Structure 1
């Protein structure tokens, strides 16, 4: 009897997970449909390409080596932007899936984390676009010899933009990771303060791995990671007090 009940519970969880995944996907598709109608994939790609175009000589353009690349690449960019804009909805679906299994004091932690996770990821992508791209592309363009014509391929540019945006968006989640680790009791704030030098070294190592081999982009990623680590150490005790269970209080 207990095995049958356990199987029914497992199946119900799978059904609930499927429902949340479908709703999250539907939200992304709705945002993508709006972006396809306005401003349109071509205009969106022009906006994404602006930092690169600003670093190229006057009159230069990117090239498309694939037959369907001029059609396919703007579509991929539009879907990427739709996913980023729909992140709050996606994180909400994740929260709605795990919320029934949480205590009341734990639910007070999850919703702020959903909001802050969405904000930090979007902030990381925005920081990468508005601050990092322009400086990196200008650095690469100035470093290139005069005998080389810099004409980037749009597919390579898309891969670079997506990898950099995801890297910055993910690394901006450092405060959320710190808060979760402290609240779950995996590590204490005092221990995090002790390992601060190692965290700083780790930030520069990660930046060296996920960014191009130039000092500008590496510093642009490593320094915010260190600052966000400090922010997580500062915020974690407050979240721990707010979400403390009655018996813990």
Structure 2
């Protein structure tokens, strides 16, 4: 008895099941829009709660953000500068706190329409993007910010006394944390390009000369300070992230 046709049918059935959404119950456009509206409202309400809570704990958050600036005295150079800067810090903190919840809501929204094969790809990418953003912020706080501030404080300290504007410092530190978090998303972008077939790992390797130039430019753009130390560290981090993405694609044979 020839079992090969039956085995082929079973294999094809398993493959086809991976390409069919687990929940293939049809929904109208109105139902999709209503669900999207509800989840967007949940995200907005969570953001309001997170930003409000951050504002109530603003002294703690400000103390954490001020920690890298050792030996600096901050001045309020305009009426209400501390108040409006506190609102800005609370909003940034609310956005950061809301991001994981927002990604969770996105997963819940798209999950019913994903096939088994798509779930194995998209869900890890979404989770990894959050982790990389957090790691980027931690890297900026513990590595980039101290390096930049050490250079800026020591340079010319024998001539001028370092008295900094409260608002300008927090614009600097918040922008540094946010831009570094975005820079750490480079492997995610590479992974998406590789999986979609837009670029292969071999093509990315051949472009290494251009990437060195681009990383140098990115280091200058992404760092809010103009000191060379921070720019070199950021450029090096971009290069490491880029080649890490290539290693991942090579492991996936893309």
Whether TM exceeds 0.5 here: the answer is yes
Which residue of structure 2 lines up, in the alignment, with residue 143 of structure 1?
A: 155
Deviations 1:158-188 (A, max 9, x none): 2112211111000000111111111111111
Distance in 2 (CA, whole Å) between partners of 1:98 and 1:172 is 24
Distance in 2 (CA, whole Å) between partners of 1:220 and 1:25 is 35
Distance in 2 (CA, whole Å) between partners of 1:20 and 1:236 is 33
For residue 196 of structure 1, the aligned residue among 208, 224, 227 is 208
Distance in 2 (CA, whole Å) between partners of 1:100 and 1:152 is 52
Which residue of structure 2 lines up, in the alignment, with residue 4 of structure 1?
A: none
* Counterpart check, 1:186 vs 2:198: yes
For residue 44 of structure 1, the aligned residue among 43, 61, 64 is 61
Contact 1:44 1:74 in 2 (8 A): no
- Superposed, 1:57-206 pairs within 5 Å as 61-206=73-218
Gaps of 5+ in 2: 1-26
CA RMSD of aligned residues (A): 2.2
Contact 1:55 1:137 in 2 (8 A): no
Which residue of structure 2 lines up, in the alignment, with residue 229 of structure 1?
A: 242
Contact 1:182 1:236 in 2 (8 A): yes
For residue 21 of structure 1, the aligned residue among 27, 33, 40 is 40
Q: CA deviation at 1:150?
A: 1.8
Deviations 1:92-127 (A, max 9, x none): 222333334432211111211121111110111111
Distance in 1 (CA, whole Å) between partners of 2:67 and 2:199 is 43
Q: Secondary structure at the match of 1:86?
A: helix
Q: Secondary structure at the match of 1:187?
A: coil
Choose 16-25 or 224-233, whichever is displaced more.
Answer: 16-25
Structure 1: which 4+ aligned runs deviate by more than 4 Å?
8-11, 237-241
Q: CA deviation at 1:18?
A: 2.3
Gaps of 5+ in 1: 1-7, 242-249
Q: CA deviation at 1:146?
A: 3.0
Contact 1:69 1:155 in 2 (8 A): yes
Q: Secondary structure at the match of 1:166?
A: helix
Q: CA deviation at 1:222?
A: 1.0
Residues paired across the two proteins, number: 227
Distance in 2 (CA, whole Å) between partners of 1:237 and 1:21 is 37
Q: Secondary structure at the match of 2:158?
A: coil
Distance in 1 (CA, whole Å) between partners of 2:28 and 2:214 is 42
Q: Secondary structure at the match of 1:130?
A: helix
Q: Secondary structure at the match of 1:193?
A: helix
